[in-house]
A and B are shown apart, each in its own frame.
Chain A
Amino acid sequence: MSAQKDRWVSSLVFLLFCASSIPRCGSAGLRQEPSPQRYFSALEAGRASLAFFTPSVSPGAQPFLEQIESSAEALQDYGISVVKVNCPKEDVSRYCGKENALRKAFLFRGTLLIREFPTDALFDVNSIVANVLFALLFNEVKYVETLADLENIENVLKGKSNMVFAYVPATGTAEHRAVMEAAFVYGTIHQFVLTTEAALLKATSHGDPDVASAWLLFCHCQRATDPAQPCRRTALGQPLTLLNIHRHLKLMGAPLVTEVAEDPEKISTVHLQLGLPLVFILSQKETYEADRRTAEFVAWQLLGKAGVALLSRDLVDLNVLHRSNVALKTPDEGMPIQYLVLEDTDEVVTLVEDNNKVKQIQEDEQEEEEEDEDEKDNNQDIQDDQVVEAVSRDKKRELPLEQVLVLTEENFHSSLSEAAQTVVLFYASWEAVSLAVLRSYSEVADHLKGTPGILLSRVNCWDWPGLCCQENVTQFPTIRIYKKGQQSVTYDGMWGTEELSSFILLSRVSCPLKLATMDEAEGYLRGEFPSELSSHFHTSLLGIFSTATSKAREAFEEAGNILSGHVRMGMYFEDDALALSHKYSVSPPAILLARSGGRSVEGIPLSKHSVQDVVQMIRYELLDIFPEITVPNLPQYLQLRKPFLILFSDGDISQMESKEMLKLAKGRAQQAFVACWLNLKKTPVGHGILRTYFSTVPSLPVLVWVNLHAGGQVFQFPSEQSITAVNVLSWMEQLQAGLEAPSSTLSEEDWKPPLPAYNFLEMMETSVPELSLHTSPHPGDTPAQHPPKSPGGDTAIREGPSQESTAEEVGSPGRNLRGTAPRLAARDKQGKRHSEL
């Protein structure tokens, strides 16, 4: 971005340079002349100069003089010299003699007096430059007062040249100056028209314009052929600064549609140089005329926002989809050209506008960042950690923790023996994630209120570090479940109310649960046994073992320990185990998997006997074939490290889609990807995903293929095709063959520090000179850390930061409360901080 900015700045500087290369006297700044005679004799023909006459002493004109002096340099750029002429005492000529002439400035071209200005019209540099140029550019800039005047000028210009019409609330303002400076450069190309009449502004703009801000229109009169119609107008949508006006005029001057016949990657137009996108209308020989009309139509719509180019596909060998008809090239370096299939011109306009909006925001952000850098990174002390901020905003709310027992070093061990199962949250009362979990924990306590045999408790490790250390808790938060006579279990699931509640409830039953009778086993598969768990829906898993297969059983039991709390596991190894396995046509050792309340029971032989393999197999078998992906369940599917085929749906998916997708998921390609769907109503963050994937919003449902782990390309299933297994499969084949172009690619960016830190080292170096002498570790490693030493000496520099801070601190007294007590009492003495040292 800044590179582009530089580009237009440099071209502008060039223009100004041309303007200022008009012959001049060579002296810089203000010139002094000893007497009026000397001044007039030195005037060159055709050369403008602003003169003011002062008696030897004139204290009254002093502020005015300062302004004149500081504007001398600005005016010099336009070839206008500023001269201070001293009036000898005895002089009684026209300029020196009269009292009131001394309060004026005179503008000469050669020796001809063009205008005299009362000093009160020249109150600052802006007003001086604006007024002087206004007087000099009398022909180039017409001043109008009525709509009729404006229309007259417009009519005269039609078919000949374009008009720049500007409204400024008052003359002598910065905007006025910007308009005049632009007129100085462009005055010969375009007709400039200026007004200060608010009525005229209202007549020329739609809606209710703000009369207090300036406004500039470019009127395309050169192209206007119909004398009855007003010229087309394009407003400058940005504040009136010389840079913005220059940019606007450059854009208006560029051809409406550029015809190109080379690789779009290599094309660069004025638009791209000025940081605007370039839209390519991809054309073919057959449709060339129509495409050209479309391009012109779009170009008018996008005037000032983007450039439009017409690209003949016949002339360029493009390696893109044949269907694509529009391409978008953004000015950002390294951003690939997007090729799109769009249906009408509005989509093009929306595309560009959305794109610009994002850019605008980013730009503003950047500008803010830049500003901030000037102000010593004031954002640094604004919290940007969502968890920390949320917790501190919530800190005044009293948590309903009556259900949660507070444990201490004294009562910890005695409390553990009170309930069958004690859940302990180890946390630190100053740590945000701990406190966030504590909030969910209080909700869990509320859910589980009255459940027998469960005691919820907490230990604040900030109060009892010895206890936490003894329990080997090194990280916060940690949740442990202590059961009588058993080893404690550390919770390793999501820090959420539901997940934790379910874990605690499931943990009550041993895992795996030994089932004693056939009836129990059947009841278990139906989800009716044991009664503690009947209210909780879970997929049930039953291991069947003939007594002989003890090795598999050991592995299964060990796996149960690992999966305890996450999976409902039972096992059956009574004598009639064979009968049970026959019923589900497997032979032991095997696992029976009862999904959705035992309506379907699946039998899987248990062939592997290592604990790790059994755990992995159980985890894998528990995954759904075509799951609804949600925030809590995504990680399980991420671990498969496969591409995702996601159906985004606004609400539930239809039976049809569900059926087709299931077919797809169960098919032979099942191993290669995760087929899933996302309910935007239930998981609204999906909107955020879609917004990242597509510049324009696709209609829902939309099917998307994402290579999350390899390359990050995102492909959109063509919206015109219906989602059937066949269509999707053939589309996927095309994807695999590289025949489809990705809609977008996921950012590969690293997670860098969001904001810089305070550079204390640099601050110390400026004030502790001996430190820089000891810069042995890495000389030249970080040049930024060796700022030039200021010569002020110790105390002078020490006061630096405090002076800076005074203004800001006065503005925000709330901050001072952060200070310590001695500071509270001495708020008015901020400025002197540390100078006493």
Chain B
Amino acid sequence: LGLALYAGSLCAVSGATFLYHDYCVIGAGPAGLQAAYLLQQAGRDYVVFERSHAPGSFFALYPRHRKLISINKQYTGKSNSEFNLRHDWNSLLSHDRRLLFRRYSHDFFPDADTMVHYLEDFASLLKLRVQYNTAIIHVTLEKNEQAWNGHYFLLTDQDRKNYKCSSLLVATGMWVPNVVNFPGSEYVEGYETVSINPKDFAGQTVLILGRGNSAFETAENILGVTNFIHMVSRSRVRLSWATHYVGDLRAINNGLLDTYQLKSLDGLLEGDLEDLAIIKDKKGKLHITLRFYLENRNISAGINSITLPQDELDNFATRAPYDRVIRCLGWKFDFSIYNRSLRMMPGKGNIKKYPQIKPSYESRGTQGLFVLGTASHSVDFRKSAGGFIHGFRYTTRAVHRLLENRHHGVPWPSTVYPITQLTNSIIKRVNEASGLYQMFSVLADIILLRENATAFEYLEEYPVGVLAELEMQTGRKAPNGLFVIIMEYGRNFSGADKDVFYYNRAVGEAQHAWQSNFLHPVIYYYKRLPTEREMRLRPPDWPLPRPDAIHHIVEDFLTDWTAPNAHILPLRRFLENCLRTDLRNFFAESCFLFAFTRQKLPPFCQQGYVRMQGLMGSQELRHHAVQAGLLQDYSHTDFLGDRHPDSHDGSRDQLMRDHAIPVRPLQHLVNAKDE
């Protein structure tokens, strides 16, 4: 009874006691803490449940060899904090500058313990409400008309304590090891428990199952002391520098590729693990055979009765016996805690390890259940960075903004600018924005045009997959057309089998920008918001449906898109042609002339000069403009024989060009005679 009085936030339903919060977050890993921070900043009623006694328990164990492969770049030569986040893959987002990862580690590839330490600090310094030692073991729904989503989420922990929430944010990560069952799989050691002491492998022959970073990391660790290592998996190796996907094999782990290709005994094989079988001989050596050979045999009859591949094919590749077999097959989402009614279904094909979610990160099965962090990677698996801290810190923020709009009537944050700032606002974002850069092709900046295109509203980092629902999801209106700013790699550039070092892989000319290969900004223009049908029917590999116009800002070696002629000018022309207006800047003198000689003024004069904010320009600048032929110098010209100033102010030097007819050389005659 004493409990029921507790702060009035307890209620009794059908005899059980529930502790209520608007938001429940499961998991105090990076994504859970990121969500907690955002909820706290917004002043929401939330709680985070963590089964361990401290945040980031996954990092306390993994990676086993303790080296994180997310970069921690100390120096970029820039002080721009937003830009620097592009090269800081470990920090979470917060207002506190102490909570930047580079203050925790100087290593480019930091130690996993540092991450644990960082997450502890993040939770404690920001006073996030995390309930430790609480393992949620069951989640079910309670129908209720009053609830935000028509139902409450009922959570039960290991002590049978119950919790009730309106919205459930699942940030449990991926921690259930992937296991393959085949005859002899009992001889296989798992990545979770295998020794990380190289000495234990001295003089041994090792077979590793799997071909991801954990497999290579394991191999890297013992490479120098083993006889040799073989690595087997179904698919060929995917190198992250060829696929441009940070989850593929990173160069830091790829020592085994070297020793394989240089014929230093290690090797890589492709084969389906389902067909595999392992047999242990009397000496404890492990032999590879195929499930096919075992089918009609009695294994207990002993190794000698079993056919080995090399009996038929005496140069069979893995005929040498192994001392150890290690499984490094990655992890999957823990589906076990959800009641059937939540319909948490695994994805299909290569995303079956993830729960099914929509591009808005909401579960396909249950309204109000959002999946955050690594477990939400099905949206951009093998494409972008949504499975990693430097990606999901932004998608988590996007989910939070969706929730703020949906449940609290707080529309997506936006800034309204006059149209003269259009080019600038895009250039600013594509040069510094980290969310666009990390979550390329997934998060996009949206520019909503106001009537008559005199002003626009700028929305940052909206999940592009739900573009069709923009008005509903953000609380902003898009009746006059919109621009979508997104970053993309060149189509057909990335891939496991692609040569990414071919000659002339980089485009330099702005006019060929659409063929850019490396990450570069792309701007889509729609006269009206695409519909859901259009989103569904979009071309394959396109993040968005066919726009009314598209612009690519040419890729840049320095990722610095501020060049006036190669980057800004073509962008301005694109924007001008979409809006059918003139977005050039003018000195006050030009505006003065236009004010007296035209009934209409260009936007820059209208929004600047006429409002007494004209750009006078220094003497030198006006002199340069005159020399460029873009400004008429009236102080030295006489009246007659000069061009009419009304014809557009454009490049006069072209007009000055000699109009004389070229003298037709009579070389034809000469040539003909020579013949």
Chain A: residues with CB nearer than 8 A to chain B? 63, 120-121, 123-124, 127, 169-170, 172-175, 210, 212-213, 239, 350, 354, 357-358, 361-362, 364-365, 368, 376, 379-394, 397, 408-409, 428, 430-433, 436-437, 439-440, 443, 462-466, 474-476, 492-497, 499, 631-632, 634-636, 638-639, 644, 683-693, 697, 706, 708, 712, 746-761, 763-764, 768, 770-771, 773-778, 781-782, 798, 801-802, 805, 809, 815-816, 818-823, 826, 829-830, 832-834, 836-837
Contact = CB atoms under 8 A, between A and B. Distances in A.
25 contacts: A123-B672, A239-B661, A361-B643, A361-B655, A376-B511, A380-B573, A383-B565, A384-B584, A386-B649, A389-B564, A392-B565, A436-B618, A439-B621, A463-B78, A466-B81, A495-B615, A635-B610, A638-B595, A757-B576, A757-B577, A768-B539, A820-B506, A820-B555, A826-B503, A833-B512
B527 A778 contact: yes
A824 to B, nearest CB: 9
Nearest to A794: B492
A774 B537 contact: yes
Contacts of B601: 751
Contact of A837 (B492, B526, B564): B492
Interface in B176-200: none
A170 B669 contact: yes
Contacts of A496: 588, 614, 616-617
B593 A381 contact: no
A729 B613 CA distance: 35
A204 B664 CA distance: 22
A631 B614 contact: yes
A63 B597 CA distance: 59
Nearest to A837: B492
B233 interface: no
B67 interface: no
Nearest to B567: A430
B427 A475 contact: no
Contacts of A382: 651
A120 B672 contact: yes
Interface of B: 78-82, 415, 417-418, 421, 424, 427-428, 431-432, 491-493, 499, 502-515, 526-527, 530, 533-534, 537-540, 542, 545-552, 555-557, 562-566, 568-570, 572-574, 576-577, 580-590, 592-593, 595-603, 609-618, 620-622, 624-625, 627-628, 630-635, 637, 639-651, 654-655, 659, 661, 663-664, 666, 668-669, 671-673, 675
Question: Taking each of A436, A829, A832, which has the highest tally of chain B beta carbons within 10 Å of its own beta carbon?
Answer: A436
B620 A439 contact: yes
Nearest to A127: B668
Nearest to A174: B664
Given A689-B593, A820-B557, A832-B503, A383 B564 contact: yes
Contacts of B512: 801-802, 805, 833
B597 A688 contact: yes
Contacts of B592: 631, 634, 683, 685
Nearest to A825: B503
Nearest to A238: B661
Contacts of A768: 491, 539
Contact of A691 (B502, B504, B645): B645
A750 B594 CA distance: 12
Nearest to A694: B639
A379 B573 CA distance: 11
Contacts of A433: 585, 615
Contacts of A755: 573
Contacts of B599: 708, 712, 746-748
Contacts of A497: 616, 618
Contact of A819 (B509, B568, B615, B673): B509
A385 B614 CA distance: 15
Contacts of B596: 644, 689, 692, 706, 708
B614 A632 contact: yes
Given A751-B601, A823-B504, 18 more contacts: A175-B664, A383-B569, A386-B584, A439-B618, A439-B621, A476-B424, A494-B588, A632-B616, A635-B614, A685-B589, A692-B644, A751-B603, A754-B582, A755-B573, A757-B570, A760-B514, A771-B539, A836-B499
A463 B539 contact: no
Contacts of B540: 770
Nearest to B618: A439
B82 A358 contact: no
Nearest to A474: B415
Given A494-B612, A753-B577, A365 B546 contact: no
Contacts of B614: 494-496, 631-632, 635
A752 B598 CA distance: 13
B6 to A, nearest CB: 40
A755 B648 CA distance: 11
A640 B516 CA distance: 51
Nearest to A360: B659
Contact of B565 (A361, A381, A687, A749): A381
Contacts of B588: 494-496, 631-632
B98 to A, nearest CB: 14
A677 B47 CA distance: 72
Contact of B515 (A120, A361, A801): A801
Contacts of B661: 213, 239
B552 A833 contact: no
A546 B431 CA distance: 58
Contact of A754 (B493, B530, B576, B631): B576
A361 B80 contact: no
Contacts of A476: 424
B43 to A, nearest CB: 20
Contacts of A428: 424, 428
A55 B597 CA distance: 73
B612 A493 contact: yes
B511 A390 contact: no
A387 B570 contact: no
A829 B574 CA distance: 30
Top 9 closest pairs, chain A to chain B, by CB: A819-B508, A496-B616, A820-B557, A430-B562, A753-B576, A123-B672, A387-B585, A751-B582, A386-B630
Interface centre among B424, B587, B621, B645 (most CB of A within 10 A): B621
B645 A688 contact: yes
Contacts of B618: 436, 439-440, 443, 497
Contacts of A123: 668-669, 671-672
B646 to A, nearest CB: 5
Contact of A385 (B562, B569, B613): B569
B669 A388 contact: no
Contacts of A365: 647, 654-655
Nearest to B611: A635
B423 to A, nearest CB: 9
